[in-house]
Structure 1
Amino acid sequence: MKQYIGITILAMFILSGCQSISDEELEALHARAAKAEQLQAENEKLKQSKASLQQSVAELNKQLEQEVTAKQVLIEQNEQTGVIKVTLQQDILFSSGSFKIDQAGAADILKKVIESIDNNDGKVMLRIVGHTDNLPVAKKWRNQFSDNWDLSARRAGEVARYLTWGLGFPRENITVAGRADVEPVASNDTPEGRAKNRRIELFIEK
């Protein structure tokens, strides 16, 4: 790499038609070469991260094939950044109005997600985002949740707690957010649309 940069600098010097070069010009050339080297290293790192995440996508689809087929889970990957988004419908994680993980099925699904992630280097970051429909929190639950902001954040936090305490995922690699009903993916005018909006999204990146 250094030899390549040196040749590049020399070529730039020759092509400029100069017989001599000042210290300031030489310093500027070195700075440009260092910047090019940094950008190449960053691009290589991005390629490696995207390749690792692509392997995780393949493993996620394999492990969660049944849930994906049943449209309980949606797995997507951003082509530019490589970031994976796993969307989990509320019904497979929580009972209605509750923020407690449903141990019957949710625990197994979350375990499959973590096992599918290549985190051998400890650099995988998880962003957990909770979403609700636009219906107000039922009266019987208002002693626990003041509104949908509270409910969505509590559910996202519960997933984070299970991933860290139950499955040992590093706490420092997780962030949590509650988005209430402000980012719907379907119309809230129908029961089917509201069911799609009640969800947890896991963003997986390196």
Structure 2
Amino acid sequence: MIKKVSIGLLILALSTSCVSKKIYNDLENKFADLKKENRKLADDNEDLLKTKTKLESDGAALKAEYDKLKAERDKLQADYAAADKSLKTLQSSYKALEKNSDEALQSNMNKNRELLAQLEAKEKSLAAEQDRLNKLKAELESSSKRLNELESLMAAKDANMKKLKDNLSKALNAFEGKGLTVHEKDGKVYVSMENKLLFQTGSWAVGPEGKKAVVEVAKVLAVNPDISVLIEGHTDDDKITGTIGGGVENNWDLSTKRATAIVNILSENKGVKKENLTAAGRGEFAPLMSNDTPEGKAKNRRIEIILTPKLDEISKMLKDL
């Protein structure tokens, strides 16, 4: 849907001398939606970390309860052994006194019954505690299994993103030192291309060398279909004056056209899922450096390709916890 809107805006921009305020507002609203989506991804990642922490805390609590019940069971077993020993002693005494007195015999028999009753009660209590211990142990094992599965999924996600970053770095090695960098941050991979590699001043037409770099990115994306791709256009704070090419209203408009141009090149690769692509213009409002120097302005004029893993499987697992 975003791609269709972006293409429509591009066609409208090429067929007229200026872009309407409505298109500007639509782009502005689209950018706001993208920011919300970005915040949601950050919140999802934070929720994952909180869930992991809670599972670890619950597991520790279950382990402590397990150890406590085990200690109580061991005590009951010791009491049982002591009672059993006393019973055997009384039984021996009973046999010795049996010959001497019916009264002594009756007394020992009563004591024997009491001890047998106590022993039976302790056996029942021990069995009940053992059942509770088994249940807690099962809960602990189940919780540990879910935690391990969640950690495995998160580790796999991180490993996949590192592999993706390594593959991109390898594919784009020829452009090192030409204004292109690849780095990983907060579980995402960023491909940053300075405008000197991609565009002429005031233009949104991608040059031959820049197109080669974007085509290499598309090749990597084609074998990673489960990655969301946000293409952000950035400018310095120099104001747009006069007529540039087909005409642009301002830096925001120019940055959006440049982001859309990158999307169009990525889409030429049939293996890239178009529904994973989003173009956004951020104008001069997200600079990397101060615009007070030519060097700072050059760094701020760039395209950011932000690759984000889809978290559907992890989100489903969290719902099942």
Report TM bin, short chain: 0.7 to 0.9
Matched, 1:108 2:108: no
1:173 to 246, 252, 276: 276
Q: Which of the pair is proportionally richer in helix?
A: 2
Rounded Cα–Cα distance in structure 1 between residues aligned with 2:221 and 2:161: 8
2:81 equivalent in structure 1: none
1:84 deviates by 0.8
1:18-45 per-position Cα deviation (integer Å, ceiling 9, x unaligned): 947xxxxx8xx96x97776554333322
1:76 to 183, 199, 207: 183
Within 5 A, what are the aligned runs for 1:36-75?
Answer: 37-70=145-178, 72-75=179-182
Question: Which amino acid is 1:49 matched to?
Answer: K
1:161 equivalent in structure 2: 264
Question: Which amino acid is 2:199 matched to?
Answer: F
Percent identical among aligned pairs is: 25
Matched, 1:119 2:223: yes
1:171 deviates by 1.2
Q: CA RMSD in A?
A: 3.2
1:135 deviates by 0.5
1:182 deviates by 1.0
Query: TM-score, normalising length from structure 2?
Result: 0.51
Rounded Cα–Cα distance in structure 2 between residues aligned with 1:115 and 1:153: 23
Rounded Cα–Cα distance in structure 2 between residues aligned with 1:89 and 1:13: 58
1:53 deviates by 2.1
1:4 equivalent in structure 2: none
1:61 deviates by 2.2
Question: Which amino acid is 1:167 matched to?
Answer: N
Rounded Cα–Cα distance in structure 1 between residues aligned with 2:153 and 2:174: 33
Task: Assess, with a 3 A threshold, how the Cα gap between structure 1 residues 42 and 138 changes in structure 2: closer, same or farther.
Answer: farther
Question: Which amino acid is 2:237 matched to?
Answer: N
Aligned partners of 1:89 and 1:200 also within 8 Å: yes
Task: Assess, with a 3 A threshold, how the Cα gap between structure 1 residues 38 and 176 changes in structure 2: closer, same or farther.
Answer: farther
Question: Which amino acid is 2:197 matched to?
Answer: I
Task: Assess, with a 3 A threshold, how the Cα gap between structure 1 residues 154 and 40 changes in structure 2: closer, same or farther.
Answer: farther
Q: Classify the secondary structure of the residue corresponding to 2:265.
A: helix
Rounded Cα–Cα distance in structure 2 between residues aligned with 1:33 and 1:148: 57
Task: Assess, with a 3 A threshold, how the Cα gap between structure 1 residues 16 and 94 changes in structure 2: closer, same or farther.
Answer: same
Rounded Cα–Cα distance in structure 2 between residues aligned with 1:37 and 1:176: 40
Rounded Cα–Cα distance in structure 2 between residues aligned with 1:74 and 1:56: 14
Query: TM-score, normalising length from structure 1?
Result: 0.76
| Structure 2 unmatched runs, 5+ | 1-59, 73-127, 130-134, 310-321
Larger radius of gyration: 2
Rounded Cα–Cα distance in structure 2 between residues aligned with 1:35 and 1:119: 35
